[in-house]
Structure formats: C-alpha cells, structure tokens
C-alpha cells in the first residue's frame, strides 16, 4: 500500500472512531433506562448471585459492574453504563490491530463501514448490558486467532491470549459461546495439521488451556440447560428460521431494511446474504486462504449449531442483539475476501468508499441520541410516567386504575416503582401478554390506558368515548382516558 494512502486511511480510522465515541457518550448520558437494563439492575439489587444460574440474564461481568456503580455512584442510567462506554476504546484498539494488517484500502473502508460506522456495531456500547464487553473481547480473541493462523509456526502466546479473551467474551455474555467453541476448535485443528504432532498437546501449557476451555464449556452448557429446562427463561429469539430471524435481524439493525421479516422460513434478503457468504467460503477454500476459511467457518459453524439446538431443544434462533457475536465473523469474512481477491485496487476502493459514505449518510439519517434502536418503544417511559402523574392530579383522580402494555409496565414495576416508590406509586395493571385484541369491557374499573401495542391502534374507532390525551411520536406510546360508555357494536 502507498505510504500516503496508509497514513490517510489511518487518520480516517481515528477520526471516525473519535466521532463514534462522542456519539456513544452522548447517547449513554441522554437515553432513559431500557427494560433490559432495569431488569438487570433489579436482579443485582435483589441478591442476583443466588439467582444467576436460573436466569437468561447471562451478562455476568455486566452485573458485577452494575452492582459496583449502583453502590458507589448511584442508579442514574448513565452511571450504570460507564463500563460499556469505556469498552469502546478497547474495541477500537483491537479493530485497529486488524486495520493495520489490511493492505487493501478497499478492505480498510469496509472494516470502518461494518464495524464502526453503523448502529448495530455501536448500539450496545451505550447500554448497561454485556454485549459491548463481549463484542470487544471477542474482537480481540479473533485478532489473536488471526495471528495464530498467519504464522508458519504458531506462537503459543497468541493462542493463549485468544483463548483468554474468548473466555472473557463468554463470561460477558453467553451469546459468544458458539463463536468461542468454533474458534478454539479451528485453532487446535490448525496447529495439529500444521505439524502433525499430538505430543505437543500434552505439554503443561496446553493442558492448562484445555482445562480452562473445559470449565468454561461445562459451566456455560450446564447454566444454559438449567435456564432452558428449570426456569424456562431461555425464550428470547426467533422461532421461524436462521434466515428469517438471525440474518434478517442483522440486516435490519444495520438499518438496511425497514423492519424484521417475521413471516415464513426464508426472505429474499437473508437468502441472498447467505449465498454471498457461501460463495466467499467456497472461494476461500479454492484459494486455500486460511483467513477467509476461518471466518467463514465461524459463521457456518454457528449456522449448523443454531439449527441443531433449535430442533433438539426448541431453543430460539439468535435474533437482533443475540446475533451480535455472529456479526464479527460475517464482517471479517467479507473484509478478508476483499483483502485477498486479486484485482486492481481501484476496483476495490471505488465500491468500498461508496459503501462507506453511504453508511455514514444512513447513520446520520437514522441518528437518535435518546432512544435505543433495539428498545425504541421504551424511550419515553419516564416522561409518560411524569405526565401521567400530572394528568391524574389535574383530573383530581390520583387513585385511578391504569391499564398498561407490557413494556410500560415492566419498566415501571422493575425500576421506577421499585427504586422510587414514593414518586411513582401508581395503580397500574399490565394487559396479559397473550391478549390478542384488547377488550376494554373486561376492565370496567380502569380509567386510563397506556399502550404501544400495534393491535390496539384501532381502539379509538372501536369505542365511543375514549380520548387520546397524550401521544409520544418517538416511541409510539399513547395515553388514553377511558369512559364508561358501552363499546360499539
């Protein structure tokens, strides 16, 4: 690579990263608490250590930090998010190590596009969950795995660091487990076939690694089985297919589609995406390029495992945030494909640069500092709670019964009522989750309704005397005053 291009792309890398970091800091400070954060904090505050093995809240390192910050600093959302925010420079450091290895300017711009300049990569660095830490540690693990594969005589220290960071990624969030398994399995097979010597694996240093990997695997699998069969809490995800749920949700959260497809087993976008990744894997095998083969293997390994556990244990397919760990292997498969493909550099630079600037424009167009893309319906709960109090006071009806949707109720009961009982002591009841269509006649004593449920949007036409008194455009939340008139026929 030309020295001037090398310096220029590095400047662009650091400028893009700095702007992304400012965005993350602002969002972490301005965004109200989400339901997942509220639930995690509730568990931490109610002796979560005893319940750890029985809940799908498998963000263990996150829980430790939440406990630390809630005790020492307080429970303001931005205080609880400090550890996620400060993981971003670590994530960027590992990405820069990859960035320096890339000789193609086109591949470098794709790394910027996929792993920095999109909301899916940055979303969770602003939220107090384990995804940011897991993503950062897994990025580091994959870099040192790449170093192992890039050496004729693999150095043990790189293998060791890759395994340690992989374990940290799993401890931060279990969604990294299958990527961890695929990574360590591939690395040990590569080391064996590189010199055909089994004796080396009986050395003390390798035995220690095997023990650590075994402990991590046993703890993780046992915990997941307990969550699945004892507490029945392993329910978040998709039940259609890996294509519709996992791949479509990745495309959606990158903001390349307007909504997640939840109808049918396949969608055109996911099938084309899968075919492209399959083509990349085949090219890698034909060209005997170990980097492309490795990252493609991680994707297809999880594809196979996700389908197996779905059909054997009815465990949902990764969806949205639970597919985040898979996003790295997908991105690096494409990046190294562009890096290794033999063509004139100009044919790599022009499309990659176009994609990068398109991603920047898309990022700016969808920019939102006060709402999580994964939980946008929950973004105005605090504001609506305060407004609800004022409405009740104005109506001289402070003991009124309030009917609410799940999202509203969960954040209220898990956070605002629990931590601020004097301020948010309202008489709220949640609409049952299995309700298909809301029938207000079943709730004759309720005088207010708060909802974001799409199936309730026609409620104003269904009832004679129901008044919309507050609407929140960002989240779609609505507050209604319910009359005691009979429903329309």
Name all domains of the chain by residue range, CATH numbers in brackets. Answer: 3-365 (no CATH), 380-482 (3.40.190)
Report the candidate in 166, 162, 184, 163 with the shortest Cα–Cα distance to residue 175.
166
| Model pLDDT, residue 45 | 85
E strands in 156-242:
none
DSSP structural state of residue 483: -
Angle between helices 105-115 and 82-101 (to 10 degrees): 160
Tell me, what's the pLDDT at 259? 54
Q: How far apart are CA 10 and CA 97, in angstroms?
A: 11
The segments of the chain whose pLDDT lies below 70 read: 1-2, 47-54, 231, 233-234, 254-264, 453-464, 484-489
Q: Which residues pair with 477 in a beta bridge?
A: 472
How far is it, in rounded angstroms, from Cα 142 to Cα 150?
12
Structural contact between residues 474 and 379, judged by C-beta atoms closer than 8 angstroms = yes
* pLDDT at site 46: 82
CA 174 to chain centroid, in Å, comes to 12
CB atoms within 10 A of CB 420: 13
295 near 333, Cβ under 8 Å? Answer: yes
The helix/strand/coil state of 75 is coil
Residue 359 confidence (pLDDT): 87
Question: What is the distance between the alpha carbons of residues 244 and 266, in angstroms, rounded to a whole number?
Answer: 5
User: Given strand 401-404, what is the order of strands in its sheet?
Assistant: 427-430, 401-404, 446-451, 477-482, 466-472
pLDDT of residue 488: 46
Phi, psi torsion values for 479, nearest 5 degrees: -115, 125
> Alpha-carbon distance 194 to 309, whole Å?
32
């Amino acid at each position: 690579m030309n020295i001037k291009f090398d310096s220029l792309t590095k400047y662009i890398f650091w400028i893009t990263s700095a702007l992304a970091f400012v965005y993350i800091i602002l969002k972490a400070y301005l965004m109200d608490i989400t339901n997942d954060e509220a639930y995690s904090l509730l568990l931490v505050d109610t002796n979560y250590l005893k319940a750890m093995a029985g809940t799908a809240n498998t963000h263990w390192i996150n829980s430790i930090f939440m406990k630390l910050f809630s005790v020492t600093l307080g429970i303001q959302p931005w205080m609880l998010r400090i550890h996620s925010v400060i993981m971003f420079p670590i994530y960027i450091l590992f990405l820069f190590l990859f960035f320096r290895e890339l000789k193609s300017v086109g591949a470098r711009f794709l790394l910027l596009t996929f792993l920095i300049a999109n909301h899916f990569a940055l979303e969770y660095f602003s939220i107090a969950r384990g995804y940011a830490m897991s993503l950062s540690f897994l990025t580091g693990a994959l870099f040192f795995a790449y170093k192992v594969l890039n050496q004729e005589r693999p150095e043990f220290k790189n293998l060791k660091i890759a395994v340690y960071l992989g374990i940290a990624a799993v401890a931060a969030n279990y969604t990294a487990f299958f990527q961890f398994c695929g990574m360590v399995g591939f690395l040990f097979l590569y080391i064996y076939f590189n010199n055909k010597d089994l004796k080396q694996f009986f050395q003390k240093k390798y035995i220690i690694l095997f023990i650590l990997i075994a402990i991590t695997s046993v703890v993780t699998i046992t915990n997941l089985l307990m969550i699945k069969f004892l507490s029945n809490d392993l329910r978040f995800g998709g039940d259609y297919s890996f294509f519709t749920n996992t791949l479509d949700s990745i495309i959606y959260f990158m903001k390349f589609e307007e909504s997640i497809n939840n109808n049918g087993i396949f969608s055109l976008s996911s099938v084309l995406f899968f075919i492209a990744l399959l083509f990349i894997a085949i090219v890698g095998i034909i060209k005997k390029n170990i980097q492309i083969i490795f990252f493609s293997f991680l994707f297809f390994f999880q594809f196979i495992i996700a389908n197996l556990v779905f059909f054997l244990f009815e465990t949902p397919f990764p969806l949205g945030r639970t597919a985040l760990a898979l996003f790295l292997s997908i991105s690096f498969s494409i990046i190294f494909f562009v890096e290794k493909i033999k063509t004139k550099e100009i044919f790599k630079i022009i499309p990659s640069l176009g994609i990068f600037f398109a991603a920047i424009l898309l990022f700016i167009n969808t920019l939102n500092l006060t709402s999580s893309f994964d939980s946008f319906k929950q973004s105005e709960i605090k504001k609506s709670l305060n407004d609800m109090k004022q409405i009740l006071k104005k109506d001289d009806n402070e003991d009124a019964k309030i009917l609410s949707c799940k999202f509203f109720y969960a954040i209220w009961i898990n956070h605002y009522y629990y931590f601020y009982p004097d301020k948010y002591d309202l008489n709220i009841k949640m609409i049952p989750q299995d309700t298909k269509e809301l029938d207000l006649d079943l709730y004759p004593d309720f005088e207010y309704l708060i909802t974001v449920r799409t199936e309730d949007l026609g409620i104003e036409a269904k009832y004679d005397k129901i008044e919309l008194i507050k609407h929140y455009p960002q989240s779609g939340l609505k507050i209604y005053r319910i009359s005691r008139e009979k429903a329309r026929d």
